[in-house]
Structure 1
Amino acid sequence: MNITQDKIDNLNSVLTVKINPDDYKERVEKAIKTQAKKAQLPGFRKGMVPASHIKKMYGKNILVDEINNILNDTLNNYITENKLEVLGQPLPKIDDSKEFNWDFTDEFEFIYELGLAPEFNLDFSSKDKITYYKVKVDEETLASRITNLRKSYGKMSNPDVSADEDVLYADLKQLSADGSVFEEGISNTASIRLDQVTDDKIKKSLVGLKKDDVVELDLQKAFDGNATIIAKLLNISEEDAQDLKSKFQVTVKNINRLEEGDLNQEFFDKLFGADVVKTEEEFRNKIREELESMMVQNADQKLQADMLKFGLDKVTMNLPDEFLKRWLKATNEKLSDEELAQGYDDFARNLRWTLIENRIIKDNKLEIKYDQVFETAKKRLDAQFRMYSPQPLSEEQLGQYTAQFLQDKENANRIFEEVKAQHVFDYLKSVITLDTKEIEYNKFLELK
């Protein structure tokens, strides 16, 4: 067997693999004998089928399989032994002029294209500066959070006249083009949340309504085409909601208003436990602390995104783009040329960052341990369970769920990549100079 590499340029190579009968004869004969021992054919006892009979019936298929096995082993060994950092997988070059007889005496020649990872330098240092935002709670955000909490523990009332944050419990009936009720059309009784209405003019028309008032409503315009909201209101599918053009007659049956809970000791104790907070000032400070703690995560996410962009701009590298496009098409049969053209830049960007991450991990000997992956997965699962149940799982139960979760290869790979990204993020934070800047949350949201 002979394998040679022809380097086209720094990013592309061609491997030629030549296989002669001496390379595959012994493996094929062994595979035929193994098949003969397992075969169950009419007229023969199990394990007593002659190897020559198996060779005659299935020999070519076995030969093809063994040649493919030899090719895979040869390519993998060559890439490993020569320390080639390839992108994607070797891509076979189809030569229609070559035809094999598959008669156990053929000499085979296979040609593969390789896309090679680029050479690049990393020189992150303290000379590099990135802004790190320390997010402070502005009064508007604080007031909104307090209002939501007070409503969560408030009481429902039924006012005579609707206001802009009320809920209208109403009958909805589909209208014909002439404005009359479409007798066989869609009808439902549902709650219309006025705080979800995005059109100011329509919202204004829904304020000041009383029980039994009737109005005409354009749902698509009222909710800015939000199919999820419209489907829920009418009890139809989101697909049908998306295509819906009709207006609806709305008859108010009741008006619901959630009154804010009083800022008293009972309210404080429900939120934080007995006597943890005793005054309105302590309550406001506590909410501010909790919000700012949450905003640290927002600031870290912003920093991580900024570091990624900074790294991609700083590190210059080229990719074997044409090879990668052919490889993507070869491994994704349903991928159209249009989809490839639209999505390739994002694919290439992610690939470049992956190469940078891998180099940082390798050069700095950053070790990713299983217990780090396990603990990260456990935190993610714990957060999910808490969304559906206020009662947390025991450590033992959570550990069992985590172990089961990580048995799925896709889950394990996703969490591994998350831990790897965090290692790289922590490393860059320790190397690059962070220019800390305070900013209010409402201004932070305006940043891109």
Structure 2
Amino acid sequence: MTEPESVTGDDNVLNVTFQETDAQGHVAEGSQPKENSLLVKYFSPAFRPQLLGKKAGDSFTIQLLNAFEEKERAWILQDLALNKESTADAEKYFSLVITKLGLLEKAPLDENFFKKVYPARTIGTEVEFREAVKQDMADQWKAQSSNNLQHTLYHELLDKTKIDFPESFLKRWLLNGGEKPKTPEEVENEFPAFTNALKWNLITDKIVTENHIEVTPEDIRDAARKQLFSYLGGLPAGDDQPWVEDYVNKMMQDRKFVEETYQNQRTNKMLQWVETQVKPVDKDITA
């Protein structure tokens, strides 16, 4: 970002101070200045020409209703701690003082840019770059779709599976069976979550056993690699690098990590298997 002397177009960034006024620009009693940063393109197309040539230190009065269109106006109203649904708030006037100007400059789509975005990949053309971005977006939507489906499946399995537990026995066990005795009130409060967790463990055990679902040491090692890459911003650094395997070997010696990862992998594999049993039905929807 550069700092131009004046506003030249839609990509200029304005650091401004809002302060409520009347239509003539007189400061409203009790109003306090509030700072914000806006792109020129956030203003309505009809208002933008009034900003051209403005410099740091310039001030002008706006009415929110006229200066911004509906979507952007809702953002501004929220930033000003006003009601985005209120017509009266939208009709308010504000003085804007430009405190600083910036300009967003688009980077050229060349190999240097591609390397900054995807340092672990070899991308030489804009077409390859766009395909990489498209694939990343598809992968993200696929992961989100799977997460949403698994969330639904979890509740379907938990809510529609009926298991009768020996309630009195379990409550007595919760009351006195732990390291620290609980009060009857604590037991009553914790009992629903306890029975849900117990039911989920039984459901998971049954599906895993009947369908021969296994978690291998390599699954846990792969999870450790993914954890490392997530620390690096999600960008694979290369599985064959010695320091990556050093990290994986270290994590495999961490009992807590191994046990937690095993349980997570076990649950994920179980839910992935359940996903394969779902028969999707196409339905028309309306916006």
Fold shared, TM-score > 0.5 on shorter chain:
yes
Q: What's the counterpart of residue 307 of structure 1? A: 153
The change in CA–CA distance for 1:428 and 1:400 in structure 2 (over 3 A counts) is: same
Deviation at 1:398, TM superposition (A): 2.1
Q: What's the counterpart of residue 249 of structure 2? A: 403
The change in CA–CA distance for 1:194 and 1:324 in structure 2 (over 3 A counts) is: farther
Q: What's the counterpart of residue 381 of structure 1? A: 228
Percent identity among equivalent residues?
19
- Separation (CA, whole Å) in 2 of partners of 1:288 and 1:335: 56
- Separation (CA, whole Å) in 2 of partners of 1:346 and 1:213: 60
- Separation (CA, whole Å) in 1 of partners of 2:16 and 2:194: 48
Q: SS of the counterpart of 2:280?
A: strand
- Separation (CA, whole Å) in 1 of partners of 2:101 and 2:205: 59
The answer to whether the 8 Å contact 2:208/2:270 transfers is yes
Deviation at 1:415, TM superposition (A): 0.7
Count of aligned positions = 245
Matched, 1:258 2:104: yes
The residue correspondences of 1:40-439 to structure 2 (distance < 5 A) are 155-156=1-2, 158=4, 160-161=6-7, 167-169=13-15, 178-179=30-31, 192-194=36-38, 208=51, 210-213=55-58, 221-222=78-79, 252-263=98-109, 276-279=124-127, 283-321=129-167, 324=170, 331=178, 337=185, 341=189, 345-384=192-231, 386-387=232-233, 395-430=241-276, 432-435=277-280
Q: Over residues 265-296 of structure 1, what are the superposed CA-to-partner deviations in whole Å (9 max), with x where a residue is unaligned?
A: 775676567764355xx654443233112222
The change in CA–CA distance for 1:252 and 1:287 in structure 2 (over 3 A counts) is: same
- Separation (CA, whole Å) in 1 of partners of 2:102 and 2:187: 48
Which amino acid in the other structure matches residue 155 of structure 2?
K
Identify the structure with the greater strand proportion: 1
The residue correspondences of 1:16-31 to structure 2 (distance < 5 A) are none
Which amino acid in the other structure matches residue 300 of structure 1?
S
Deviation at 1:357, TM superposition (A): 0.5
- Separation (CA, whole Å) in 1 of partners of 2:14 and 2:161: 56
Deviation at 1:356, TM superposition (A): 0.5
Deviation at 1:261, TM superposition (A): 3.2
Deviation at 1:317, TM superposition (A): 1.3
> How large is the Cα RMSD of the aligned pairs?
5.3
- Separation (CA, whole Å) in 2 of partners of 1:379 and 1:336: 43
Which amino acid in the other structure matches residue 79 of structure 2?
A
Q: What's the counterpart of residue 63 of structure 1? A: none
Q: Over residues 410-429 of structure 1, what are the superposed CA-to-partner deviations in whole Å (9 max), with x where a residue is unaligned?
A: 32222111111122123324
- Separation (CA, whole Å) in 2 of partners of 1:399 and 1:297: 26
Q: Over residues 102-157 of structure 1, what are the superposed CA-to-partner deviations in whole Å (9 max), with x where a residue is unaligned?
A: xxxxxxxxxxxxxxxxxxxxxxxxxxxxxxxxxxxxxxxxxxxxxxxxxxxxx545
- Separation (CA, whole Å) in 2 of partners of 1:412 and 1:254: 52
Larger radius of gyration: 1
Q: SS of the counterpart of 2:196?
A: helix
The change in CA–CA distance for 1:348 and 1:265 in structure 2 (over 3 A counts) is: same
- TM superposition score normalised by structure 1: 0.41
- TM superposition score normalised by structure 2: 0.59
Q: Which has the higher contact order (CA 8 A, sep 6+)?
A: 1
Q: Over residues 183-202 of structure 1, what are the superposed CA-to-partner deviations in whole Å (9 max), with x where a residue is unaligned?
A: xxxx9xx8x4448xxxx9xx
- Separation (CA, whole Å) in 2 of partners of 1:335 and 1:214: 65
Which amino acid in the other structure matches residue 380 of structure 1?
Q
Deviation at 1:374, TM superposition (A): 2.2
The change in CA–CA distance for 1:275 and 1:411 in structure 2 (over 3 A counts) is: closer
Deviation at 1:361, TM superposition (A): 2.1
The change in CA–CA distance for 1:302 and 1:165 in structure 2 (over 3 A counts) is: farther
Which amino acid in the other structure matches residue 311 of structure 1?
L
- Structure 2: gaps of 5 or more residues: 20-28, 62-75, 83-94
Deviation at 1:179, TM superposition (A): 4.7
- Separation (CA, whole Å) in 1 of partners of 2:147 and 2:12: 35
- Structure 1: gaps of 5 or more residues: 1-154, 182-186, 226-248
Q: What's the counterpart of residue 64 of structure 2? A: none
Deviation at 1:319, TM superposition (A): 3.2
